[in-house]
Structure 1
Amino acid sequence: MNLQFRSPENDDVETIISLMTAFYSYDNIPFYPDIHGKALTDLFNNPNLGLCKIIELDEQAVGYFIICFGYSMEYHGKDAFLDELFIDAEFRGMGIGKRCMPEIERLCRKNGVNAIHLEVDAGNDTADQLYRQSGFSGNNRSLLTKWLK
């Protein structure tokens, strides 16, 4: 099982959009191809925003992750949000997510990140367990969101 994490190129946008469509459907999140496609292109064109990796198993795209960078006084400077980590349903349960976590941490360290944040849907015990086994912990806070657009 040859697992690789590859930086996307311009012709990979459709591959990632296809994976995003599956992820958003799985998580019951509204997906807007034009809006999400533009956000993805913005991310590709501005590495200060974050990064995206395509997860390939034997040269087949089986998932992706997106890390977005931020800045925090509490976390002593640059921090990151693991915005999306998705493995196609056909390839879940093979330990791919577990193998992604050290790569995500490595990339964050390489980019000067002090802390990584993420959110887990209530009831997604498999993901929660993966993240906790990778060193993430709760902080007795809730993530609140207000849309500005």
Structure 2
Amino acid sequence: MSHLSLRPATPADIPLILSLVRELAEYERLAHEAVGTAADLEAALFGARPAAEVVIAECDGQAAGFALFFVSFSTFLCKPGLYLEDLYVRPEFRGRGIGHRLMAHLAALAVERGYGRFEWSVLDWNAPAIAFYRRLGARPMDEWTVQRVDGQALHALAAQAGG
């Protein structure tokens, strides 16, 4: 029987987290978008104003996966929420309940912190992940469509700020 533990990431985990992010990007067919550096990640997680947190899952002392999340906010609830940006379990560790443990851990954090919701996005082609989330009790927000401005469009919009 294997031993599973969850722990908050430390600055020493930056190379591991970056490696897991790149593995996830490869799985999601988005490796070309994974351009962040170790310095970027360290500043985002452990800098003066941390933007996100990471939980590392270890199975028998080996890195098995991670969850990266940050605080969102609901104006309707007037409460913060927990937004899961990335959940990833390495293929050789799948089927052992690690993803479920990570999700339950994040739900418990949200409850403990008094948050009003726990949300995330999933690629519409990722049927195994969608089925997993349904088993957890998640419901799709079909009436909402994610919007994004990035890259050149972000800079062009910012240039219109004036002032």
With structure 2 as the length reference, what TM-score do the two structures score?
A: 0.81
Question: In structure 2, how many angstroms separate the alpha carbons of the residues matched to 1:57 and 1:98?
Answer: 14
Superposed displacement of residue 40, structure 1 = 4.5
Higher relative contact order (CA 8 A, sep 6+): 1
Number of equivalent positions: 148
- Residue aligned with 1:4, SS: strand
Rg larger in 1 or in 2? 2
Aligned pair 1:120/2:122, yes or no?
A: yes
With structure 1 as the length reference, what TM-score do the two structures score?
A: 0.88
- Residue aligned with 1:102, SS: helix
2:100 partner amino acid = K
CA RMSD in angstroms, aligned pairs only: 1.9
Structure 1: runs of 5 or more not aligned: none
- Residue aligned with 2:63, SS: strand
Q: How does 1:1-149 map to 2 (within 5 A)?
A: 1-29=2-30, 30-34=33-37, 37-45=39-47, 49-139=51-141, 140-147=143-150, 148-149=154-155
Structure 2: runs of 5 or more not aligned: 156-163
Question: In structure 2, how many angstroms separate the alpha carbons of the residues matched to 1:115 and 1:102?
Answer: 13
Question: In structure 1, how many angstroms separate the alpha carbons of the residues matched to 2:114 and 2:49?
Answer: 13
Superposed displacement of residue 94, structure 1 = 2.2
Q: Which moved more, 1:78-87 or 1:130-139?
A: 130-139
Superposed displacement of residue 69, structure 1 = 0.5
